[in-house]
A = this chain, B = another copy of it.
Amino acid sequence: MKIERAFEAIANGRKEAERIGVPMTLAVVDAGGHLIAFARMDGGSYLTNDIAIAKAHTAAGSKMATADLEQAIGAPHIVASLSAATDGRFLVIPGGAPISEDGEIVGAIGVSGGSAEQDAQVAEAAVG
């Protein structure tokens, strides 16, 4: 993914986060799950950093929104074990969404800072 596409997604997400009045952290990764762009909005907590990055990593690897993935996996203890087995990088919580270009998934955004619903809403707004 080109960096301009990554920053466009972050800008779109920030607009939605401002609209609902919640400071968010937004991370964009490439198809290999590696960070390209990142923004923590004023008032956001450093605790959200790794969470936003892990959601993006998960959405890029699974090619699914993490909200859908949560429903697909189901059992809470399996969700916890998968997190542990992947050093926390497989994070099955709403707020991650794949980014497509010409019908191909080229990476993903991960959003953290609000409720699960708010995070998912901002991620969806970000990827358009």
Contacts and interface: CB of A to CB of B under 8 A. Distances in A.
A107 B63 CA distance: 20
Interface in A1-50: 2-3, 7, 30-42, 45-47, 49-50
Contact of A32 (B2, B46, B77): B46
Interface of A is mostly: mixed
How many chain copies? Answer: 4
Interface residues of A, number: 48
A51 interface: yes
Contacts of A54: 85
A103 interface: no
- The 5 tightest CB contacts between A and B, nearest first, are A32-B32, A76-B77, A34-B46, A83-B84, A38-B38
